[in-house]
Structure 1
């Protein structure tokens, strides 16, 4: 009887080891599972002339100031999220990107300062330091860009093509990307077309495609207009576009811009996205906070 029991015990142990180890082909069966309570927040800023108060004035609030307030709201949501967690569970980060990188070395240094991360060894004083950085540095960046008048633009298409997975997606975290832009997409280094799809979108292109009437959706579908797909398999990325600001003259311009972005996100398998107009920060802050905190 003891011998039979001993043999059964060996079979049981071997069976358990096989379930938790490697399969016969040597591939690990364990997979990395994302923890929705650990977040990875990225902010991609479009430093084109859209932020120039002389070129694009707005009496209620200049667009560059709206951007800085959006960024503060993102930071506020991030810190609120951190405060809701136990210190031992800290494994979160937040960063800012430009594409291409500005030529001004000071701005690049500022970008490094805005890359923050929290782990179980993070001190309470770090919260105040992050708040201070995100309250002051973004304003320096925008003021520097406006003063230089050397607007580098933003190659958003190329960012999605070559960088978004490496920079903005961590397999073990909830990934959120905020894009601060007016909705138009254009950069000399990535301007091309494939059939009726393009890597760019301008007001001129919208007019030339006759997307100026109520049936613009039908025209888009019929002619297969839109952005060229830049990537695939981005289901682990949430995207929020802030600052859509259409040129005046076409009452459907804003809707066309949003249609282009929505179709692009769907094609890249992005399941969760929002596209918001350049509204006052006080109106958008609750939306931004809800996205970051997930509440």
Structure 2
């Protein structure tokens, strides 16, 4: 009997040792991921479906701008699924969604966008679902751009109002890492949201930059001394991280890119967004690492 009990004790000890080692191995594997596995991600993508994607007004022989957007979206979804696969099933409680502002009049586009609101937790997470996300996002977003271009009636993008009225409610969740990716050329203008408070505006256009003499080497001094910039559209957004992709300045002004980025930087800083990056409309192959590093490597 003593021999049996001794053998049983040894067996239990071996099982516990193996179990602890296996759990340690899982943690070690998790720690090789750039992201923190236990973190919940809440990723939002805001599409600018203005005439910046028009094949007639803004053609690009190297790669059309809507194709670049699709490449960026592919990298975003891949980073999201990479994060999900670094977690245990019971830890998963993550979201990815896609927005327009205003909503397009095309009901098909709005219907597609609803399909791209993905919420995954321990109750519905499966290998099949995780493996389907990238293909689904690629297929459905392609339909959105094809429909918008075919319609050729670009309503514009009201990014300022999105921050003013929607970003807190729709893009920020408690106990999540909230990331907003904006695909835009950097200009901001919408007919129904035109506001001006001295040199602060809800918009920025190439004409506005030229009209106010921000197209010279002294642009920065003038921007600071005369307080040019966007009107603040939110307070204390320190729980939101923002990645802007697709900046495409007017080539007639060598200072345009710097002015656009200064506007966005000032705006985000004043709204207390601590982590943000603003990138040009580069080829997706050149932007993939930037996107995945931003999403998978949390900055302090």
What's the TM-score once normalised by structure 1's chain length? 0.87
The separation in 1 between residues aligned to 2:88 and 2:108, in whole angstroms, is 35
The 4+ residue runs of structure 1 with deviation greater than 2 A are none
Q: How does 1:78-93 map to 2 (within 5 A)?
A: 78-93=80-95
Q: Which residue, 249, 262, 268 being the options, matches 1:265?
A: 268
The answer for the alignment partner of 2:166 in structure 1 is 163
The answer for the alignment partner of 2:178 in structure 1 is 175
SS at 1:254 equivalent:
helix
Q: Which residue, 39, 48, 52 being the options, matches 2:50?
A: 48
Contact 2:38 2:91 in 1 (8 A): no
SS at 2:39 equivalent:
strand
Question: Alpha-carbon deviation of 1:268?
Answer: 0.4
Within the alignment, does 1:250 sit opposite 2:247 as a pair? no
The separation in 1 between residues aligned to 2:252 and 2:133, in whole angstroms, is 42
Question: Alpha-carbon deviation of 1:129?
Answer: 2.4
Question: Alpha-carbon deviation of 1:36?
Answer: 7.0
> Which 5+ residue runs of structure 1 have no aligned equivalent?
1-34
The separation in 2 between residues aligned to 1:95 and 1:58, in whole angstroms, is 28
Question: Alpha-carbon deviation of 1:244?
Answer: 0.2
SS at 1:163 equivalent:
helix
How many pairs does the alignment contain? 262
> Which 5+ residue runs of structure 2 have no aligned equivalent?
1-36
Within the alignment, does 1:286 sit opposite 2:279 as a pair? no
SS at 2:261 equivalent:
helix
Q: How does 1:187-266 map to 2 (within 5 A)?
A: 187-266=190-269
Question: Alpha-carbon deviation of 1:128?
Answer: 2.6
Contact 1:220 1:226 in 2 (8 A): yes
The answer for the alignment partner of 1:75 in structure 2 is 77
The answer for the alignment partner of 1:153 in structure 2 is 156
Q: How does 1:10-29 map to 2 (within 5 A)?
A: none
Query: Which string of whole-angstrom CA distances, capped at 9 and with x for unpartnered residues, describes residues 197-237 of structure 1?
Result: 00000000000110111221100011100000011110000
Question: Alpha-carbon deviation of 1:124?
Answer: 1.2
The separation in 2 between residues aligned to 1:275 and 1:132, in whole angstroms, is 27
The answer for the alignment partner of 2:61 in structure 1 is 59
Contact 2:240 2:273 in 1 (8 A): yes
For the aligned residues, what is the CA RMSD?
A: 1.3
